[in-house]
Amino acid sequence: MTTTTLLLVAALLLGVVWSGWGDQDVAGADVHRSDTARSSPFRANVRITQVGDHRIAWYERGSGPPLLMAIGTGSTMAEWDPALLELLARERRLILFDYPGVGRSSRLRDGRTSFAGLADTAASLLEKIGLPRADVLGWSMGGFVAQQLAIRHPRAVRRLVLAGTNPGGDAAVLGPPADQRIDSDPNPSDAAALRVLYPRTRAGREEGRAFLRRLDRASDTGEIPDDFEVPDATVRAQVRAEDPWLRSNANAEALASVRAPALVTGGRQDPVVPSLNARRLGDLIPDARVRLLPGAHAFLFGDRERFAAVVEGFLGPA
């Protein structure tokens, strides 16, 4: 099973070109809120922070308890639905970041990656920017990273939200091979990618096109970074990292050690990560609740009002 490659659809339909990563360097003491008054349009202020061997690009939006957001395969921090971010940022300080080898972060040094390594990077980033503890939301491959973060760095995770992801090993349930091939393709057609992200109905196709229009507008106004590049080599490295994830039961077994309360969500029509995965994650994590919503792999975008309300109700006050 592989996870969603949004950037390729966005690049094909929107014609967004990467402009290179910035030269800002940020230490924890320099962090300040980038969100402006509600009457002013939000503009993403991308920072670059040294984390181990990598320079990690990130930005924040909103105020309140922090929520780290880990996105899926082959995607940058610019590819969260702006409409969903606007809803979540009403009560949360969102922390959005690019994995090593993605977007404005520095390139992969040896052409390899792992979900444990990405979780370690995320924990170090939080510490570097002065957030030793945060809520964490992981979607698709980002859900693998979020699970590993809760397992490897339990003190860093207050509450855990998983969306459209699986536990790995024998407990993972894969979608049809044709949909898996679309999702792992570094260069899918726009129609093919939307086919796995949104329901295969007229309404679903229109919602997918509306999502791309929102990305286009947000990129033009600076609401999201003008940042959609992920090298094919990085996508292939992320896809390769899923082989040991699916062959080993180590992650699924380690979920019994997770002490953070968890909300596990899934799309009822998800062809990439069938909703049975949410049920299995709910059984494996000691303090977990499961909520299924209408939609396919991008259910959290298509049904964003309900998703944001469910997440906010679960996270509650810090």
User: Per-residue pLDDT tens for 44-101?
Assistant: 999 999 999 999 999 999 999 999 999 999 999 999 999 999 999 999 999 999 999 9
Average pLDDT value over all residues in the chain: 88
**Residue 184 confidence (pLDDT):** 76
Write out the two tokens for 238. Answer: 């992320």
pLDDT in tens, 188-211: 777 888 889 999 999 999 999 999
This prediction has a pTM of: 0.88
Q: Give the pLDDT band (50/70/90) at residue 318.
A: low
Point out the least confidently predicted range of 1-5, 159-163, 287-291: 1-5
Specify whether the CB–CB gap between 230 and 238 falls below 8 A.
Answer: no
Q: How many degrees, rounded to 5, is the angle at CA 188 between CA 245 and CA 106? A: 60
Residue type, 275: S
